């Protein structure tokens, strides 16, 4: 199988126009006509690739999606605020308008891909957060242009590939989030490589139901209870909460054991669970975390996620956070600089761990300069 080309495989880029697929899907606030960026991390993350190219004489043209405009121009999702910030960080770099303003992007329309590469000499994919999408800007350009993975994409592959192939042990995965159905595939894949699994968040209630515990009015996917039961019967230990924070039937804050009374709703792991999960993390040598332990946006139900985040920051293990809400939680608690790697793609990181490949990676391996 051809390897994925890197920037060095583009050869001499002096005088060439290089299209760089970036992930500038940054958070913004304010009125539609005057939105401002609240976190420019994703723009700054692309700078190593952009600077490598410009320092070697290339003209860089960046392209990104922003939000979900559904194939038509929407003022709210204009790239103009991003363009202004990019001009400050990397003067002279061009930025196309939101790719998703054209319906051909998400439909993987070959004609749109041809339009994107007109006048372009080479292509770089540095958008790990979009590499699991078979969209025109992701899989189209490598069909005709010399192509490469940017530095950000390359680093994601090194870290997440290392988790699949050669992690330091014990290797522990901590998973949370609302629905177990969203993560069954990755759970099954991780159980092939981890030494233990820790389950929190809303998805834990389907597992607790699989053990026969009543879960009150908590999120519970009854059609997946039997699958969770089979997973619990496997050879790898799966750690579940031993207490739960939430609301009782009257709507008052309460802490429960694992048997939730009728009308109660679990919204966070309890203090005992948070301490136990932290112990598992502290004893590991590699930890992957994806998904909050509770509804951390509400301070009443943030303690479980906060405790796990601090354990990730304090452990001597190699720590990887799989983007998405987990990365947002780390940033909220001021701990995003305290872990070894924060992935820029929540869905992409899970899909890569589950499947070992992504459409954007396969496209790069098929590029004319791949070998």
Which of 272, 264, 269 has the alpha carbon at shortest distance from 215? Answer: 264
Active site residue 179: yes
What is d(CA 40, CA 159) in angstroms, rounded to the nearest whole number? 23
The single residue of 16, 21, 42, 100 carrying the catalytic annotation is: 42
Query: What residues form DSSP beta bridges with 244?
Result: 256, 269
Q: Tell me the C-alpha to C-alpha distance, in Å, between residue 78 and each of 25, 42, 57, 84, 153.
A: 11, 16, 29, 11, 25
Which residues are within 8 A (CB) of 127 and not within 5 positions of it... i.e. 6 or more apart? 21, 22, 23, 64, 138, 153, 360
Verify whether residue 324 is a known catalytic residue.
yes
Catalytic residue among 140, 202, 291, 347: 347
How far does Cα 276 stand from its chain's mean position? Answer: 25
- Joined tokens for residue 308: 């796990």
Alpha carbon distance 11, 197 (integer Å): 44
Strand-pair category, 341-342 with 238-239: unpaired
Of 294, 324, 346, 360, the catalytic one is: 324
Query: Is residue 68 a contact partner of residue 33, using CB atoms and an 8 Å limit?
Result: no
In degrees and rounded to multiples of 5, residue 25 shows phi and psi of -80, 70
What is d(CA 212, CA 206) in angstroms, rounded to the nearest whole number?
10
Beta bridge partners of 246: 254, 266
Instruction: Give the C-alpha separation, 174 to 52, whole Å.
Output: 35
**Known catalytic membership, residue 347:** yes
> Active-site residue among 179, 229, 300, 365?
179
Length of the chain: 371
For residue 74, what are its two tokens?
């929407």
Q: Known catalytic residues?
A: 42, 179, 324, 347
């Amino acid at each position: 199988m051809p390897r994925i080309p890197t920037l060095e495989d583009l050869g001499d880029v002096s005088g060439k126009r290089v299209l760089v697929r970036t992930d500038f899907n940054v958070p913004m606030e304010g009125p539609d006509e005057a939105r401002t960026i609240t976190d420019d991390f994703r723009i700054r993350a692309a700078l190593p690739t952009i600077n490598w190219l410009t320092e070697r004489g290339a003209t860089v043209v960046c392209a990104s999606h922003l939000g979900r405009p559904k194939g038509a121009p929407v003022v709210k999702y204009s790239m103009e605020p991003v363009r202004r910030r990019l001009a400050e960080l990397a003067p002279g770099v061009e930025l196309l308008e939101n790719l998703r303003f054209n319906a051909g992007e998400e439909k993987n329309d070959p004609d749109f891909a041809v339009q994107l590469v007109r006048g372009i000499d080479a292509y770089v994919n540095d958008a790990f957060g979009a590499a699991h999408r078979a969209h025109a800007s992701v899989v189209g350009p490598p069909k005709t242009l010399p192509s490469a993975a940017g530095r950000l994409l390359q680093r994601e592959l090194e870290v997440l590939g290392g988790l699949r192939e050669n992690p330091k042990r014990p290797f522990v995965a901590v998973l949370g989030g609302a629905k177990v159905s969203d993560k069954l595939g990755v759970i099954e894949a991780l159980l092939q490589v981890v030494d233990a699994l820790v389950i929190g968040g809303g998805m834990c209630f389907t597992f607790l139901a699989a053990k026969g515990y009543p879960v009150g009015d908590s999120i519970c996917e009854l059609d997946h209870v039997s699958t969770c039961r089979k997973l619990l019967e496997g050879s790898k230990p799966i750690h579940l909460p031993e207490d739960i924070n939430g609301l009782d039937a009257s709507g008052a804050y309460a802490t429960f054991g694992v048997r939730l009374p009728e009308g109660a709703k679990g919204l966070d792991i309890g203090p005992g669970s948070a301490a136990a999960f932290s112990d598992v993390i502290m004893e590991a040598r590699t930890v992957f975390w994806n998904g909050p332990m509770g509804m951390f946006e509400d301070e009443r139900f943030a303690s479980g996620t906060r405790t796990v985040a601090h354990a990730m920051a304090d452990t001597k293990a190699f720590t990887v956070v799989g983007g998405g809400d987990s990365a947002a939680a780390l940033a909220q608690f001021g701990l995003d600089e305290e872990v070894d790697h924060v992935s820029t793609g929540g869905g992409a990181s899970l899909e890569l761990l589950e499947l070992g490949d992504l459409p954007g990676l396969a496209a790069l391996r098929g590029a004319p300069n791949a070998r």
